Structures are given as structure tokens and as C-alpha cells.
Amino acid sequence: MRTALLAAGLLAFTLAASMDGLGIGVIAGNPTGLTLKKWLGARSALDLAAAWSLDEKESFHVHADYLAHHFGAIELDPGDGRLPLYYGIGGRLVILDRDGEGPGEENDDDFRLGVRIPLGAAYLFEEAPVEIFLEVVPVLDLVPDTDMDMDAALGARIYL
């Protein structure tokens, strides 16, 4: 009985550590860079990133998203961790590197400002304060003109 109580207490401590701290990690995809995640409650979090896109239009991205997590969608066996699905809304700023884009064009950086709608899944390990995630993010750029875009990323965070 004591062993079961101790195991339950350690499980609760591990889950609390992964949900209360600040998650720091990396994202790979488009864009690729650094990410932070701060849990605001049991089901909501704030996700921030600073990243670079190295495709044909090199750019620097900064985004901030509010995320809502649904923990009951995919049930795992006890002891296997948790796999919430999440969705959210946020914003992004993209600074494009336009150097040498064409003859007679100015070599100024340009920017885009848009709304992000992240959709993803995160795996929270049971025995370690670690999260891995996969997300797709439709983006509606609003400034300087209206345009649709798509971001996608695979990432990992460790919680401190």
C-alpha cells in the first residue's frame, strides 16, 4: 500500500513539474528555431518561438500562441505518459531578407504580420519533464497584404 501511495505521489510530482515549469526547446521544420512554453493552467499554455526559415525566401519568424489542450482525445496505457491534442490562436511577425531580390529593387528587409491557428499533438513523458510535439499551422497574413501560408514543425522541450 505504501509503495502504491509513493508511486502515485511521484507520478503527481512528475506531472506537476512538467506542467508548472517553463519548457525550453527546439522546433524543426518551417521555420526552425527555439521555443518556449509556459503552462497557464491545467489545459492552457502560452507558446513562444524565435525561428528562421531557410527556404528560397530567408526570413526570421517570431510567434506567440495561446494553446488549449484536450487530454481525453487519445488514451494511453497507465505509465505511458499523456498525449493531448491542442489547438490555439496567435500571431506571427516575419522579417523577410530581400537583399538582391531583383534588378533595380531596394535591398530593404520587409515584414509580414499574420494570425496563426496551431493544430497539434504533444507527448508528455511520464517519467521525465520532457515534451515532444508535432503541429501544423495555417497562417493568414494580414500586413502588408492578405495571403495564406502554412507552417509545420516537429519539436521537443524540457521543463525546468
pLDDT tens-place string over residues 63-108:
999 999 999 888 877 778 899 999 999 999 999 876 655 555 555 5
Q: Is the dihedral of CA 42, 44, 50, 56 positive or negative?
A: positive
Lowest-pLDDT range, 33-37, 75-79, 109-113, 138-142?
A: 75-79
pTM over 0.75: yes
118: containing domain? 2-159
Residue 7 has pLDDT above 80, yes or no: no
Query: What CATH number did the domain enclosing 76 receive?
Result: 2.40.160.20
Number of domains in the chain: 1
Residue 4 or residue 19, greater confidence: 19
